[in-house]
Chains A and B, each alone.
Chain A
């Protein structure tokens, strides 16, 4: 997968880390795994199953453990850890770095960083951040909007009316995340996160008018930086020969990065108000998620009794 690395300098900037020692190449050190290790066992000398490509975090316990050791064994233990070529070592709670740690870091050329945050809190936000940054990703041609709290990805051929739909959805009080190009990441086994590429964030292109800046035109409440993708709407030109779902009883899904996302296909014909259809589909998806299905209810009324 492309881009599935994060440079250490970006992490330092995001988490506002203090640099105690830098070998001078922070913007070249690559982090490619989202796991973060507290090297307690390693400092005690156990290195089986050790992942040297992970960020190492020293918290209260590790710090206290090192404190108890004699200067000589402290030197040995931390040198052994740094010799594994770890990407960096981060001290939490503003702990003072022992002299031996600084020496070993310099010797091995490994960055030594520090944060004032508590260990668990820092680690969970770091893992969360890395999971997002390192997630498998894909860019899709479509529009991402948020309608009543649901992230709706609208897909369809060029010229089918995706951007016009998005514009009216925004006018109806909902939010635009991305027009034309949506960058999607699989941040967990159940979650897809969509956002716009930086260059075209908050822009929308309407044929005949040109490029509009939705944030400038409709204000900050009309845009959102990112949103989970809950539901996919495929727009396609009305095909006379094709039969479309009339009841809404079929559960259609669209695959994105290996995940099945609930979806529907809406045929586009002259005179159809797409924005209101998308809005209704979003609300209908919400109500289905909460357990009510109008189509099933209707079937129950037409054919009473046990089904």
Chain B
């Protein structure tokens, strides 16, 4: 299991869409991926789960991945959270 913390950078208008894209990206991996924010944990492949974290611009998020493709999964998500526009 590997994990990394990142600060979410996103325009307010893009938040909802960014979350939807994030879930799509997470769902392409076989690993189980979790996001942690202020002590709450949600499955990164679950839309409502991620929404329930109330992730907003500047939020500190810890991403955890476990499974055969954990390294790629973690890299992809961290990269996306740092710069959701790309």
User: Using a CB–CB distance below 8 Å, which chain A residues touch chain B?
Assistant: 1-3, 138-139, 141, 157-159, 179-181, 196-197, 199-200, 203-205, 211
Contact = CB atoms under 8 A, between A and B. Distances in A.
B40 A2 contact: yes
Contact of A2 (B32, B38, B46, B54): B38
Contacts of A196: 52
Interface of B: 27, 32, 38-43, 45-49, 51-52, 54
A223 to B, nearest CB: 14
B27 A203 contact: no
Contact of B48 (A2, A3, A179): A179
A111 to B, nearest CB: 27
A-B complex: 9 closest residue pairs judged by Cβ atoms: A2-B39, A180-B48, A197-B52, A158-B45, A141-B43, A181-B49, A200-B48, A180-B46, A180-B49
A6 to B, nearest CB: 15
Contact of B42 (A141, A157, A203): A141
A204 B46 CA distance: 11
Contact of B43 (A138, A158, A179, A200): A158
A200 B54 CA distance: 10
Nearest to B40: A139
B39 A181 contact: no
A196 B38 CA distance: 17
15 contacts: A2-B39, A2-B40, A3-B39, A138-B41, A139-B42, A158-B46, A180-B48, A180-B52, A181-B46, A181-B49, A199-B54, A203-B48, A204-B48, A205-B46, A211-B47
Given A2-B40, A181-B42, A199 B47 contact: no
Contact of A181 (B27, B32, B48): B48
Nearest to B52: A197
A157 B33 CA distance: 11
A205 B43 CA distance: 14
Contacts of B27: 158-159
A2 B40 CA distance: 8
A90 to B, nearest CB: 29
A211 B40 contact: no
A78 B59 CA distance: 45
A1 B41 CA distance: 13
B45 A205 contact: no
Given A2-B39, A181-B48, A204-B48, 14 more contacts: A3-B39, A139-B41, A139-B42, A139-B52, A141-B42, A141-B49, A157-B32, A180-B49, A181-B42, A181-B49, A197-B52, A199-B51, A205-B46, A205-B47
Contacts of A157: 32
A181 B52 contact: yes
Contacts of B40: 2, 139, 197
A200 B51 contact: yes
B45 A200 contact: no
A159 B45 contact: yes
A199 B37 CA distance: 15
A139 B54 CA distance: 14
Contacts of B41: 138-139
Contacts of B46: 141, 158, 180-181, 205
Contacts of B38: 2
A286 B39 CA distance: 35
